[in-house]
Structures are given as structure tokens and as C-alpha cells.
Chains A and B, each alone.
Chain A
């Protein structure tokens, strides 16, 4: 009976392997320098890349990060340092609730909050939706990482006469920052893979644009549009875009895994 559980684990791995296999094998054909630097061409014309989409995704997670990271880290600090009270528990609960809200609902909120007043789809609205999505992940990891810092470090700082705020910033945060950075990274990766909220906030753009007040292209929306389309050429490009997206997310995680590991070695 217990050996059946091994079968269950194998069954779970099968789709993972299949997805990676197909993404890599189908995506690699169009993966070249041109893909990263050329603009999308009209259908039927060969070539064409996704330069604007790649830059668009980076801009969107940049805007999202500039909102999500400060809010997330500061709230995480509050929860771990000052938040052992009832309000802290309420905020913790709301963070869990926020993390379960579907991304498309967050997109609708960003639409009503940003697109409607601006009377305009924009990268800014998309960035805000992504930022909201990042917040719970960053709060949770920041709180966990700060909690891991031993109490003795804080007490040592306070015993030396350093005020609490300086202890928190210079001692506690300095110790925990690698873990917090991983949490930020996790949030950014999650945001990079989001499609639904962008459909009606950042919309999409066939042209090169870095203006955050205008609609902007993104890898995820392009994958969606190209996959749905009846054109074989576009379907191929969708696989390549998927490959680039997975590579982007993997690079982000790998980068910080390397950084964190080296710190432990010197310790």
C-alpha cells in the first residue's frame, strides 16, 4: 500500500516533465538573438521578435516592485517587531486572505482604482495590480526571516545603548536581508508570470513603448494572444516566449540562490 504512494509521486512528476520538455523543445526553434531585439512583425511576415514584451514585463515588475517591496517589508517588520498584539493578528490574517484572492480580481480592482480615473489603460495600472499581488508574499517571508534572527542579537544591541530603531535596521535587518531578498525575488517571479490582471490594466501594445502612462506589452499577455491565434507562426513564437519567461523566472531564483549560498560559506 505504501508503495502506491511512490506511484502517486511519479504521477505528479509526469506533467512537470512534459511541460518542461514541450516548452524547451518547441520553444528553442525560434530562440535567437533576433527574438530578444526585434519588434513583432505583422502576421505572415517571417521573423519578428518580442523585444517590447520582454522590456514591458521588466518595467511592469519594476513598477510593481516599487510599490510591493516597501509596503511588504515595512509591514513585515511591523508584524515581527511590534506586532504581537491584536492588530498584528488582524493584519496577519488579512495577509493570508490577500494571498488567496485570485489575480483577476486584483486586476478588476486596479481597473476601478487606476484605469477609470485615468481614462486610460496604462503600464502604471498593470504595475499596481502586480504590486498588490506581491505584497502578501513579501510580508510573509520578511516576517519569517526577521523572526529567525536570534533574540540575543537584538538584546546585545539594546544593551549597548543603541535605540531600538537602529538595532532593528542595522543589526536585525542586516542579518535577515538575504532571506528578505529571497522573498522579494519570489514576489517578483510570481508577478512576472501573471497574465490575468494585465489583460485590462496594461492591456498590450504592438509597438515599442516605455511610457508608463500608456498600455504596454508583456510576455505573458503575448503568450496568451499568440497561443489563441490561428497562425502557426505565432503559435511557435508563443512557445519561445514561454521558454523565455521560464528562463527569466529561473534566472531570478538562481541568482539569489547563489548569493545566499556564498554568505553561508563564509559563515
Chain B
């Protein structure tokens, strides 16, 4: 089935919301890291996590559609204004891992990067 980008985005957002709803009980026990994306930064942009400790990354956008991509852990999600998307995540290795916005959002899109530091 071929979907245009807008339909694909809406579907992805819907699936993320459903996943969030069904995962609430598990999420409730996990540490939640709230991350706001806005032109042109993530806040916070440097996040420290513990290896083996489950967390929920909860995203929202203050202005336009953004993306969050953490390639080393093959994690990504769309970030839509007016809503929340959640990623459940348990870092399984120590190190510093870069993330970036992967939805072109304007002049300083390339500055929308950050790091997740996983400690023991």
C-alpha cells in the first residue's frame, strides 16, 4: 500500500499513541524523560541514563513537526505539535550516543542534535 507522507505521518503518530496507551502500566514503573523539540533544539539535549534501567522518552513539539532519531539503538519517532509520543527504551551498553532531528524543519535544522550518555 502506498501512503503519501502526510497519511504516513498521521498513521505513525496514531500507532505511537496506541502503543503509548497500551504501554501505560509498564511505563508507569519506568523513569520518564520529557523532551521538548522546538526550532531548533531539543530540551534537554544532553541526557544521562543508566545501563539496564528502563526509561520512557516522552516527546512533544512546541512548534512544527520534528523527528527524533537515535541510530545506535535504532530508535526513532515523529514528534507532532499538540501531542505526545513515547519510546520505551532500556540502554544495554555504556557510551555516548548522538541523536538528531530527522525531519527537516528549517534554517538551523542541522543544529538539532543531542547526546544520550549511558553510564554504568
Bound together = no
Chain A residues near B (Cβ < 8 Å): none
